[in-house]
Structure 1
Amino acid sequence: MELTPEQLVAEFQDAVMELYFARKRIAVLEAENAALRTRLEATEQRDT
C-alpha cells in the first residue's frame, strides 16, 4: 500500500501527537511514582 504525500504528512502528524501525549503521561506517572516512593519511605521509617 502506497500513501500519498498528504497521507504521509497526516500519519507523521498523528505520530507526533501520540508521542507528545505519551510523554506528558510519562511525566505524570514519574511524578506519581516519586510521590509514592516518598510515602513508602516515610511509612517504613515510621514503622521501624
Structure 2
Amino acid sequence: MELTPEQLVAEFQDAVMELYFARKRIAVLESENQALRAELALAAQPAEAES
C-alpha cells in the first residue's frame, strides 16, 4: 500500500500528536509515582522507628 505525500504528512502529524500526549501522560505518571514513593517512605518511618 503506497501513501500519497499528503497521507504521509497526515500520518506523521498523527504520530507527533500521539507522542506529545504520551509524553504528557508520562510526566503525570512520574509525578504520581514520586508522590506515592514519598507517601510510602513516610508510612515506613514509624514502623522502622518501632523496631
- TM-score when scaled to structure 2? 0.91
Look at both structures and tell me which one has the larger radius of gyration over its CA atoms: 2
Q: Which aligned runs of 4 or more in structure 1 are off by greater than 2 angstroms? A: none
Structure 1: runs of 5+ lacking an equivalent: none
User: Once the two structures are superposed, what CA deviation does each residue of 1:2-48 show, in whole Å capped at 9, x if it has no partner?
Assistant: 00000000000000000000000000000000000000000000222
Give the length in aligned residue pairs. Answer: 48
- TM-score when scaled to structure 1? 0.97
Identity score, percent:
77
What amino acid maps onto 1:36 in structure 2? L
